[in-house]
Amino acid sequence: MPKKRETNVFDDLGFSTHEADVLTMKAELHSKIVRCAKHYSQGELQRILHVSQPRISDLLRGKIARFSLETLIDYAQALKMRPEIRTHEPAETLAPSRA
């Protein structure tokens, strides 16, 4: 029996599987960036991330929709974090069909 995919809040809100996966990645990365950013002043973050103060404010206030996953990855790298995406093999691998 195939293993059921774990659901998350984005699944519960009615997003497609693809959208829920992307939003989950963004939310997790954003959370880690904000945790790291607490060690810096907003002025330091502006210099490190090369963005304006309103952009820093959006980041720190959780306005995730205003940031692409790629931008969040750039911010994480600028903060000397090592972002990575992990993938997992399907629970049950299907043998290729022979026609």
Residues 32-90: pLDDT tens digits? 999 999 999 999 999 999 999 999 999 999 999 999 999 999 999 999 999 988 888 88
- Residue 21 domain-assigned (yes or no): yes
Residue 83 inside a domain? The answer is no
pTM: 0.77
Q: Is residue 34 part of a domain?
A: yes
How far is Cα 31 from Cα 57, in angstroms, rounded to an integer?
14
Asked, for residue 97, whether it belongs to a domain, the answer is: no
- Do residues 57 and 43 touch, judged by C-beta distance below 8 A? no
Domain assignment of residue 40, given as a range: 9-78
C-alpha span between 29 and 83 (Å, rounded):
8
